[in-house]
Chains A and B, each alone.
Chain A
Amino acid sequence: QQQVKQSPQSLIVQKGGISIINCAYENTAFDYFPWYQQFPGKGPALLIAIRPDVSEKKEGRFTISFNKSAKQFSLHIMDSQPGDSATYFCALTDGGSWGKLQFGAGTQVVVTP
């Protein structure tokens, strides 16, 4: 059973625009919510992560927004660049699972020049 639902499946955005990817989960035991970025032929790489005690975390052009009551979190890519074109995965885990990550299905983002 998939623990996290990710949308949209794909996204096309113009250079300079904002990319928004959403994830929803059910189990309130999760306490660590990372986003991974994957380029073709490479493995996923940690982009940014958040814990449920904060509602937002920003690192450069990337921001995670977290809504604990709604059990949703999202990734915002501001001023999107062609180099941001990649597949993005949300993930989650809980402290009792020894770091076992559960991933969303991924969002393929294409940033057009």
Chain B
Amino acid sequence: DVKVTQSSRYLVKRTGEKVFLECVQDMDHENMFWYRQDPGLGLRLIYFSYDVKMKEKGDIPEGYSVSREKKERFSLILESASTNQTSMYLCASSDVRTGVEETQYFGPGTRLLVL
């Protein structure tokens, strides 16, 4: 089974802090994604990566950056946390082999509260 793990289930941070959210997948997937999910807004893509050291902006990249130094690990960084970044953060990964490339496997999520 594909396993995507996220470093924390719950996180409380102060405004202005630098926040790191870590995601690790164990299935050698090329693609990795970071989303945030808010009530009434659904899942929105922040950043994705299709290879080590490669990254692309999603729909809402402002205030975030990412790092992918190893294939299995994709980190989301909030440079200076703000209250409007309080949200559920979800990491996902997907394979690139033909026939299975479309399906995304999600981690359990990190619920971040910024005070």
Question: Does chain A bind chain B?
Answer: no
Q: Which A residues fall within an 8 A CB radius of B?
A: none
Q: Which B residues fall within an 8 A CB radius of A?
A: none
